[in-house]
Structures are given as structure tokens and as C-alpha cells.
Amino acid sequence: MRKEVDHIEEYRQELKELEAFKNDKSELFETDDSADLEELHLRIKHQEIVESQYTRIRNEEMWRIWIDLIYPWLEEEAMTQGLHVILDVDDEKLTGKITISGERFFINNLYCDAKNYLEVMIHYANDFWISDEDGLFVVEVLFDLYDKEKTSDKTQEIEKAKQDFNSFRLRHGKKVRFKFNP
């Protein structure tokens, strides 16, 4: 049995239409973005208050997995497969990003660890995506190297930020958010 789905041409056509639509300077794009921007600022303020309750503490196990295990393996793969690998770690925020790019990336199930290492990467990643750039594939993996420890309780400030956000949305004819407690 063989099954096949090919939507490449449909996708290319949709991209052309979207590009043409994006380049169209119609009234659709001539809107006042100030309300959206203010809503974004209120969301950011809420998240900053939530995050300010916590201190980030370096997680030695995550550091070992990403820095001492995965990156050295990727260095070897880069040499054997002709890849470009970048490890960026923000030592202050304790977050990291690995970018892998190249013409091709062989993942062999037999007699190599590639499948296992990729499984570990995806398991411990916060987010990842695959794209292409200048004819090369690009895999980007985001990860944390910290645990959170609650150091203060800002429940009242969080509730106030939620109320501000909800009243803003109501003033602008939108549905109320934050009916849940994170």
C-alpha cells in the first residue's frame, strides 16, 4: 500500500496570494493600533508581575544535559555532516538556544546515537521549529537552564493587573480574559 498527499503547489499559490495581499495598501491595514499596543502592554505588565514572584536558580541537571551532553554531540555531528551549530546561553536569564543548519542532516536509527540525542533535545526543549534559510535547513531549539523558586507573593498585584486588563478589554468591546488562576 502507498498513500501520498501533495499540497506543495497549493501552498505555493497561497503564499503568492498572501504576499500580494500583504503588499496591498488597502484600508484594511490602515487601522489604529494604539488599543492593540496598550493591550499588549497590559499583558506584558501582568506577566512581569507574575514572574517577579520567582527567582531563577541554575538547574545543574539541565546544564549538564544541554551544555555537557547535547552540544558536544552536535559538535561531532557538525564535523561529520558539515553542519553549522550555534549554542547561545544567556547566563543572566539562564535560557539557551541551539541553532543547527546545513544542507542535510542524517538521522540514522541504526548504529548511531542521532535519534536518541534528538529525542532528548525535543523532550527537554521549551520550543523548537524547523525552517529553511538561503537553501539550508534550520533547526532552532529553545530551552531553560533554571528552576523557579517563589520568593514573594504578589497575588494582590496580579489581581489588580487582571482587573486592569479586563476593564480595558470591556471598554474596547472585547471579551473578558483571565477567568482562570494560573
pLDDT tens track for 86-139: 999 999 999 999 999 999 877 776 666 777 888 899 999 999 999 989 889 999
pLDDT (average), residues 152-165: 92
Q: Which of 38-47, 140-149, 166-175 shows the lowest per-residue confidence on average (mean pLDDT)? A: 166-175
pLDDT tens track for 31-87: 557 778 888 899 899 999 999 999 999 999 999 999 999 999 999 988 988 999 999
The band of 1, judged by pLDDT with boundaries at 50, 70 and 90, is confident
So what's the pLDDT on residue 127?
97
Domain ranges in the chain are 56-148
Please state the three-class secondary structure of the chain as a single string: CCCCCCCHHHHHHHHHHHHHHHHCCCHHHCCCCHHHHHHHHHHHHHHHHHHHCEEEEECHHHHHHHHHHHHHHHHHHHHHHCCEEEEEEECCCCEEEEEEEECCCCCCCCCCCHHHHHHHHHHHCCEEEEEEECCEEEEEEEEECEEEEECCCCHHHHHHHHHHHHHHHHHCCCCCCCCCCC
The band of 27, judged by pLDDT with boundaries at 50, 70 and 90, is low
The band of 4, judged by pLDDT with boundaries at 50, 70 and 90, is confident
So what's the pLDDT on residue 111?
65
Would you say residue 182 has pLDDT above 70?
A: no
Does this model's pTM top 0.85? no
